[in-house]
Amino acid sequence: MTRSTLPIGVFDSGVGGLTVLHECLISLPAEDFLYLGDSGHFPYGTKSAEELRDRAQVIATGLLERGVKMLVIACNSATAAAGDEIRQLGAEAGVPVVTVVGPEAEIAATISGNGKVGVLATPATVASGAYRRALDSLGRPLTVTEVAAPDLAPIIQQGPTFDQGVLDTVRSYCDPLREAGVDTLILGCTHYPLVAPMLQRMLGRDVSLVTAGHAIAAAIQRELASRDELTTDRIEGDYRFLVTGDVDSFVEAGTRFLQLPLAGRAEKVEL
C-alpha cells in the first residue's frame, strides 16, 4: 500500500469533530477517513493541560500505528494543549498534522470589519491562550474577547433536546460577546456548530460565525496536494470509526452530527 492510499486520521473527544469530518467528506470525497472518537474520556474541556497532552499523544500514536497519511486534531482543547507534541510525533513518522486553531484564527482576522473578535470555547482552550496567541501572531491589531463555556459541549453531546434552560445557558455566554461589540465569533469547539442557529439569533445576523470545518478541509487539501498524496483515482472513498466509549451512543449521536450513516462502521477500541 502506497502512502497516498492510506486514510486520513481524525480524532476528537467525542462526536463534535464529526462537524469537521462532514466538511472533509464533502470537500475531499475520494479520500478514506479513519475517525477516532474518544467518548470514553469525554469531556476534554474541563481536563488539565497535562491530562490532555497525555491523552492526545496516546490517541495520535494509536492512529499512526494503524497507518494514516495525515493526522487531523479535530478538537480545540486537544489542539491547545498538545498541538506541538502531536506535530512532533507526526514529524517523526513523516505524517503531516493539521489542527483547528490556526485556520480559524486566520479567517476571523481576515473577515472582521471592526477588529473585535470573540472566541467561544471550553475552559481548557480559553485557559491555554491558544486562540489569543494565534490571533496576535497575524499582525493585525485586534480586540479579543474570550468566553469559557463549560456546559455547552456536554449539552450538545447529550442532545438533541434544547429546553429553556439550555437557551438561558447559551444566552449567558453570548452576553459578554454582545457587550464587547464583536462582529466575528470563532466557535472554538467542534461541537458548537450544532447550535450555530441559536448563537446567530442571540448575537444578531451581522456577527459572522467562524467554524473549523471549511478551513480544515482546505488545509488538508493544500497539504496533501503539496506532497502529491491526494487520492485521484476514484469518486468516493470510505469512512470508519474507532470509539473508546459506548458504540451505540456514539452511532446515535454521530449520525445526527455527520448527517450520514454510521451503523456498521464503528468499532470499540481500548487505548
Give the model confidence (pLDDT) of 96-139 as tens digits. Answer: 999 989 889 999 999 999 999 999 999 989 999 999 999 999 99
**Of 141, 143, 134, 170, which Cα lies nearest the Cα of 154?**
170
Q: Distance between CA atoms of 189 and 100, rounded to whole angstroms?
A: 9
Q: Tell me the pTM.
A: 0.86
**Which residue among the candidates 52, 97, 189, 199 is catalytic per the annotation?**
189
The β-bridge relationship of strands 97-99 and 143-148 is: unpaired
Q: Are residues 163 and 71 in the same domain?
A: no
Give the CA angle between residues 185, 127, 36 to the nearest 5°: 80
Q: What is the mean pLDDT of the chain?
A: 92
Per cent of the chain over pLDDT 70 is 98
Coil, strand or helix: which one is 118?
Answer: strand
Beta carbons of 8 and 24 less than 8 angstroms apart: yes
Domain with 179 in it? 101-212
Q: Distance between CA atoms of 247 and 230, rounded to whole angstroms?
A: 30
Q: Are residues 87 and 167 in the same domain?
A: no
Q: Are residues 65 and 138 in the same domain?
A: no
**Residue 103 in grid coordinates:** 485556520
What's the pLDDT at 108? 95
Residue 160 reports pLDDT greater than 80: no
**Which residue among the candidates 56, 74, 75, 120 is catalytic per the annotation?**
75
Q: Are residues 142 and 130 in the same domain?
A: yes
What's the pLDDT at 161? 62
Give the model confidence (pLDDT) of 40-55 as tens digits. Answer: 998 888 899 899 999 9
pLDDT band at 191 (very low <50, low <70, confident <90, very high): confident
State yes or no: is 189 an active-site residue: yes
* CATH code of the domain containing 256: 3.40.50.1860
The structural domain count of the chain equals 2
Q: Are residues 140 and 174 in the same domain?
A: yes
Coil, strand or helix: which one is 4?
Answer: helix
